[in-house]
Amino acid sequence: MIIIVDEDIVQMSSLKTEFQFRGYSVEMVSNADDAWDLITKDGDIELVIIDVMLAAKPSKESRYKREATRDYSITGICLAEDILEQYLAKFSKKLVYLSHTNENGLLGLIDKSSRKNNIPFFRKRNYSSDMTLADEILHKAKLPLSKK
């Protein structure tokens, strides 16, 4: 299964469809807390694609508080680092970052985490189609372009 963690479900549905067309089972999750719950419960995860700027549940219920995530601008980084801290053997080389950001400070934080944790980073705006983005993600993750 591929998990796509992004609060913009409508925008990401075409990427989900692209992976499904290739024979992958895909789950979409709109916030970091629900992603954490799914990731810690499901055993058959091939890849987790995480948007860096990501929502969380309301503060009282959330593992990812506004203060700890720079007003939710790095929630995806926090999620990825939590996953690796708890499940390094299972998720090493199974995480991918996505972002639309142009903000240099945030790009620096993404780059730092990407390098430190060996997590490929894809800027959504650099891809003309979801087919091309899916190709690149699967290639970096060393997964087959099609499971059919």
Q: What pLDDT band is residue 122 in, cutting at 50, 70 and 90?
A: very high
Position 126 scores a pLDDT of 92
Among the listed residues 103, 99, 129, 130, the one whose alpha carbon sits nearest the alpha carbon of residue 114 = 99
pLDDT in tens, 9-32: 888 999 999 999 999 999 999 999
CATH of domain 2-140: 3.40.50.2300
Query: Does the pTM of the predicted model rise above 0.85?
Result: yes
User: What average pLDDT does the segment 51-80 reach?
Assistant: 88
Query: In angstroms, rounded to a whole number, what is the distance separating the alpha carbons of residues 139 and 135?
Result: 6
pLDDT in tens, 29-44: 999 999 999 998 867 8
Position 42 scores a pLDDT of 67
User: What average pLDDT does the segment 31-59 reach?
Assistant: 90
